[in-house]
């Protein structure tokens, strides 16, 4: 056979491979014999691999032929054969389960968020902001673009972020429009938050500027400068931080004592008006030491810190006298008492370096109250209250005391000092709109006992402080959820979420009101008159705070701050109208409670919290003026006009030489005239000022209802008649325009 045609034959003729016969050096490749092709059935049986064995075979680690419904192995051994889910299916279902659980946890966190403190809220909100990176995006159709959460346009959360939508950037709480005292003192009142009535008035003034025909520009500019008293840059305020009362050109004798009759009057005013709401000192002990001092008349032998406390009590009482006009000989007498207290160590630089004591906290608390009453809100009161809180925390006043070395009276005094500081801080927070330094969840101090407590009596809790503590908690939730820079409203910009927040907080507020004891309830007519009158100060304070918080809840419905969002999602305007009516109703109740209290101005100022009455009146007037311009609740009626005039009239009739009241009266008077001019021009109704209800203190023709407490206060006071309002209008126009 020819070598070139040589073949190698395989055994049995199953296959043959041609091999080229070549010299040994050329035999680099050797043909590989191929086996005979398998039959189709055998190949199918070989290639068919058990992708998912039945569960009994998997557990026994036995080869499974994957026959359905019963494999051969299970059939031979009479085993219950069943097939479980595959790995991919199990992973998919597990992922769905985890996603559902995550959504449930997020929902739970959002529900728990209002009850957390500010620090915990920030932590939770940061956690909720983390974008999800699940495989859900991978399951999207290839044609559908995948948008990660981090890629979505978001609202700015800090002043460094740039807003992609300037729809309501002027009222965005995440930025500061102007510098405050960085290089120089250009704004003595400091930052006022979005819940501050001072900011509301200044926003209203800016809105009025968009109506150029309402008042001549030259007159408007002059009005701005004269009303603020500190230039247009800082804006208007009724606070007197632009006036420094820390020094005097007089020689101050720290150990001087006022005449006994004047001292008795000042002490009685303090304990009658301030002490029921601010029991930072023990009344019985203070009066005893006060009498002993005037018997010996040797103040040099008395502890300097106690003398400082006494002079602060004098200063607060004298500040009240200056407001009602009973110290005409020396309208700044209260400043003299305050400067004596400073010289005695009530407010000096050394307090920062001293170890906290109970008397130090008492002195700082009284100093903060006096400065709040003197409208030195930013310059001193805010700072002193913060230092007092630091000292109180340093002493552990926020905790329940079980020390055996303290008797019941001393423990109770610690509790009362703590809750007095809390009262001051809560009041300053409402006035300034700034974040609070208090963390309610960190305190477990028991509530105070009833006023003028007896150490031997039972542990009956003071009903006023019980109600006040719960109300302050609601106020903190409102400020956190609706006005804080990290609130969910700011992050989500969702009107629907805002509505839910307003409804939830309002329901909580109404539940609080329904649980008040009869002597503190302001939602029903009085039962026991004697008991009702004994708690007049506490009841008025709670009523004013309640209506102020309700104004904060529903103010967005009046101010239309989120109206653009409402339009985008097609939100029903029914809730807006109801919220606006509720907000305006609370504003009118505040006006009625303050201005219709029985008695003359001196008696009225004994029953209301006079140290912060301007806060309530300005907040109420701001809402009524905004409602008059926007007319969102309904067509503006005469009752609202009557209330706005009543505020101006009441401020004008304050008998004392109170600079803050005069400043407020001047500004609100001019704003009221400008707003009415705009309404007359736009409605074409020149008689809009005459549409005042004859019963504006009760119920007017459009159905504005006051609560029973406001009606009771109005019935006990001087009801306004139509003639009174007409006289007020004529005097108003003659005096200012």
654-678 pLDDT per residue, tens: 877 788 999 999 999 999 998 888 8
- CB–CB of 523/708 below 8 Å? yes
596, two tokens: 């219709």
185, two tokens: 């003192």
In a domain, 58, yes or no: yes
Report the range of poorest mean pLDDT among 145-159, 529-543, 712-726.
Answer: 145-159
Report the range of poorest mean pLDDT among 15-19, 302-306, 635-639.
Answer: 15-19
In a domain, 11, yes or no: yes
In a domain, 572, yes or no: no
pLDDT of 171 reads 45
pLDDT of 53 reads 85
pLDDT of 439 reads 83
pLDDT of 213 reads 54
More confident residue, 469 or 87: 469
271, two tokens: 């304990």
Highest-confidence range of 3-17, 460-474, 678-692, by mean pLDDT?
Answer: 460-474
In a domain, 20, yes or no: yes
In a domain, 204, yes or no: no
Q: How confident is the model at residue 122 (pLDDT cuts 50, 70, 90)?
A: low
Provide the number of structural domains found in the chain: 2
pLDDT of 416 reads 95
pLDDT of 67 reads 85
Please state the rounded mean pLDDT for residues 546-571. Answer: 71
Highest-confidence range of 19-33, 104-118, 598-612, 683-697, by mean pLDDT?
Answer: 598-612
Half-sphere exposure of 688 (CA within 13 A, CB side): 21
730, two tokens: 């004529």
In a domain, 265, yes or no: no
Rg (CA), the chain: 38
Q: How confident is the model at residue 729 (pLDDT cuts 50, 70, 90)?
A: very low
- Predicted confidence (pLDDT) per residue in 461-495, tens digit: 789 999 999 999 999 999 988 888 766 555 455 67
- Predicted confidence (pLDDT) per residue in 171-188, tens digit: 444 566 676 777 656 677
- Predicted confidence (pLDDT) per residue in 689-717, tens digit: 555 443 344 444 333 444 555 555 554 44
Per-residue pLDDT for 544 more than 90?
A: yes
Would you give the distance in Å from CA 402 to the centre of its chain? 33
In a domain, 30, yes or no: yes
Please state the rounded mean pLDDT for residues 600-607. Answer: 84
pLDDT of 68 reads 85
3-state secondary structure at position 30: coil
pLDDT of 390 reads 93
pLDDT of 557 reads 86
DSSP 68-79: SSS-HHHHHTT-
Q: How confident is the model at residue 526 (pLDDT cuts 50, 70, 90)?
A: low
Q: How confident is the model at residue 31 (pLDDT cuts 50, 70, 90)?
A: low
CA 366, CA 79: separation in Å to the nearest integer?
87
More confident residue, 482 or 547: 547
More confident residue, 114 or 54: 54
Q: Strand 16-18 relative to strand 7-9: parallel, antiparallel, unpaired?
A: antiparallel
pLDDT of 686 reads 58
675-695 residues labelled b (16+ CB within 10 A) or e (exposed): bbbbbeeeeeeeebbebbbbb
Per-residue pLDDT for 3 more than 70?
A: no
Per-residue pLDDT for 372 more than 90?
A: yes
Tell me how crowded residue 217 is: count the other CB atoms within 10 A of its CB.
9
CA 353, CA 381: separation in Å to the nearest integer?
19
Q: How confident is the model at residue 59 (pLDDT cuts 50, 70, 90)?
A: confident
Give the domain range for residue 53. Answer: 43-66+68-76
Report the range of poorest mean pLDDT among 18-32, 360-374, 710-724.
Answer: 710-724
Per-residue pLDDT for 458 more than 60?
A: no
Please state the rounded mean pLDDT for residues 315-322. Answer: 93
Please state the rounded mean pLDDT for residues 639-652. Answer: 91
More confident residue, 131 or 585: 585
Of the candidates 406, 438, 405, 436, the one whose C-alpha atom is nearest the C-alpha of residue 419 is: 438
Report the range of poorest mean pLDDT among 2-11, 142-151, 630-639, 691-700.
Answer: 142-151
Per-residue pLDDT for 687 more than 80?
A: no
pLDDT of 173 reads 45
pLDDT of 707 reads 55
126, two tokens: 């940061």
Q: Which of 76, 101, 126 is the last residue of a domain?
A: 76
CA 199, CA 152: separation in Å to the nearest integer?
32
More confident residue, 704 or 547: 547
DSSP 341-409: HHHTTSSSGGGGGSPP-HHHHHHHHHHHHHHHHTT-IIIIIHHHHHHHHHHHHHHTTTS----TTS-HH
146, two tokens: 């995948």
pLDDT of 486 reads 64
In a domain, 697, yes or no: no
CA 640, CA 691: separation in Å to the nearest integer?
10
Angle at Cα 140 formed by Cα 136 and Cα 143, nearest 5°?
Answer: 160
Report the interhelical angle of 304-324 vs 333-343 (nearest 10°): 170
Same domain, 47 and 27: no
Report the range of poorest mean pLDDT among 182-186, 228-232, 370-374, 474-478.
Answer: 228-232
More confident residue, 25 or 231: 25
3-state secondary structure at position 164: coil
Please state the rounded mean pLDDT for residues 102-118. Answer: 78
Q: Which DSSP helix (H) or strand (E) runs through 646?
A: helix 638-652
- Predicted confidence (pLDDT) per residue in 379-417, tens digit: 789 999 999 999 999 999 999 999 999 998 899 999 999
Report the range of poorest mean pLDDT among 333-347, 588-602, 687-701.
Answer: 687-701
32-43 residues labelled b (16+ CB within 10 A) or e (exposed): eeeeeeeeeeee
Angle at Cα 41 formed by Cα 36 and Cα 46, nearest 5°?
Answer: 80
Please state the rounded mean pLDDT for residues 443-448. Answer: 91
- Predicted confidence (pLDDT) per residue in 233-268, tens digit: 446 888 888 887 766 657 788 899 999 999 999 999
- Predicted confidence (pLDDT) per residue in 280-308, tens digit: 999 999 999 999 999 999 998 899 999 99
Per-residue pLDDT for 595 more than 80?
A: yes
More confident residue, 723 or 128: 128
CA 661, CA 698: separation in Å to the nearest integer?
26
pLDDT of 210 reads 75
pLDDT of 292 reads 95
Q: How confident is the model at residue 531 (pLDDT cuts 50, 70, 90)?
A: low
Residue with tokens 């339009």: 567
């Amino acid at each position: 056979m020819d070598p070139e045609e040589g073949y190698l034959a395989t055994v049995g003729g199953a296959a043959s491979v041609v091999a080229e016969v070549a010299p040994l050096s050329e035999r680099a490749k050797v043909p590989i014999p191929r086996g005979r092709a398998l039959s189709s059935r055998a190949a199918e049986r070989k290639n068919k691999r058990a992708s998912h064995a039945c569960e009994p075979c998997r557990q026994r680690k036995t080869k499974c032929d994957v026959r359905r419904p019963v494999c051969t192995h299970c059939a031979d051994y009479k085993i219950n054969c069943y097939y479980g889910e595959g790995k991919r299916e199990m992973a998919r279902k597990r992922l769905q389960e985890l996603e559902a659980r995550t959504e449930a946890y997020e929902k739970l966190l959002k529900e728990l968020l209002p009850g957390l403190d500010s620090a915990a809220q920030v932590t939770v909100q940061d956690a909720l902001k983390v974008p999800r990176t699940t495989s859900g995006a991978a399951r999207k159709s290839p044609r559908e673009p995948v948008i990660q959460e981090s890629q979505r346009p978001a609202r700015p959360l800090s002043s460094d972020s740039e807003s992609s939508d300037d729809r309501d950037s002027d009222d965005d709480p995440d930025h500061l429009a102007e510098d405050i005292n960085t290089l120089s003192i250009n704004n003595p009142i400091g930052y006022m938050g979005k819940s501050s009535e001072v900011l509301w008035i200044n926003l209203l003034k800016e809105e009025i500027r968009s109506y150029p025909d309402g008042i001549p520009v030259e007159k408007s500019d002059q009005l701005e400068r004269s009303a603020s008293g500190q230039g247009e840059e800082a804006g208007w305020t009724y606070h007197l931080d632009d006036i420094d009362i820390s020094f005097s050109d007089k020689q101050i004798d720290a150990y001087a004592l006022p005449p006994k009759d004047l001292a008795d009057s000042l002490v009685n005013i303090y304990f009658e008006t301030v002490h029921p709401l601010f029991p930072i000192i023990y009344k019985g002990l203070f009066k005893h030491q006060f009498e002993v001092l005037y018997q010996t008349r040797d103040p040099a032998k008395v502890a300097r810190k106690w003398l400082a406390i006494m002079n602060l009590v004098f200063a607060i009482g004298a500040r009240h006298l200056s407001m009602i006009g009973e110290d005409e000989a020396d309208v700044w007498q209260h400043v003299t008492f305050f400067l004596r207290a400073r010289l005695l160590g009530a407010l000096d630089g050394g307090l920062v370096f001293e170890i906290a004591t109970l008397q130090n906290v008492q002195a700082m608390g009284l100093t903060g109250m006096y400065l709040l009453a003197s409208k030195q809100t930013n310059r001193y009161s805010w700072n002193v209250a913060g230092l007092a809180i630091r000292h109180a925390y340093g002493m552990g006043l926020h905790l329940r005391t079980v020390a055996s070395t303290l008797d019941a009276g001393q423990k109770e005094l610690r509790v009362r000092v703590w809750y007095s500081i809390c009262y001051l801080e809560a009041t300053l927070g409402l006035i300034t709109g700034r974040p609070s330094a208090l963390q309610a969840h960190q305190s477990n101090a028991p509530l105070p006992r009833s006023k003028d407590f007896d150490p031997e009596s039972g542990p009956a809790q003071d009903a006023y402080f019980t109600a006040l503590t719960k109300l302050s908690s609601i106020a903190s939730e409102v400020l956190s959820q609706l006005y804080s820079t990290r609130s969910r409203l700011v992050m989500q910009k969702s009107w629907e979420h805002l509505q839910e927040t307003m409804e939830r907080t309002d329901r909580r507020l109404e539940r609080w009101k329904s649980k008040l004891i009869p002597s503190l309830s302001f939602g029903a007519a009085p039962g026991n008159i004697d008991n009702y009158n004994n708690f007049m100060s506490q009841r008025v304070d709670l009523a004013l705070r309640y209506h102020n918080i309700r104004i904060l809840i529903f103010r967005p419905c009046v101010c239309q701050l989120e109206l653009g969002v409402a339009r985008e999602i097609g939100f029903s305007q029914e809730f807006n109208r109801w919220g606006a009516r509720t907000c305006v109703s609370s504003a009118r109740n505040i006006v009625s409670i303050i201005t219709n209290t029985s008695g003359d101005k001196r008696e009225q100022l004994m029953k209301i919290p006079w140290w912060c009455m301007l806060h309530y009146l300005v907040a109420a007037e701001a809402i009524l003026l905004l409602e008059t311009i926007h007319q969102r609740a309904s067509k503006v009626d005469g009752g609202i006009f009557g209330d706005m005039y009543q505020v101006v009239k009441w401020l004008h009739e304050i008998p004392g030489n109170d600079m803050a009241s005069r400043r407020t009266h001047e500004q609100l008077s001019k704003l009221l005239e400008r707003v009415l001019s705009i309404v007359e021009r736009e409605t074409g109704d020149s008689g809009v000022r005459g549409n005042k209800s004859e019963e504006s203190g009760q119920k007017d023709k459009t159905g504005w209802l006051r609560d029973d407490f406001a009606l009771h206060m109005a019935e006990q006071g001087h009801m306004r008649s139509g003639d009174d309002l007409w006289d007020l209008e004529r005097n108003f126009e003659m005096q200012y325009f």
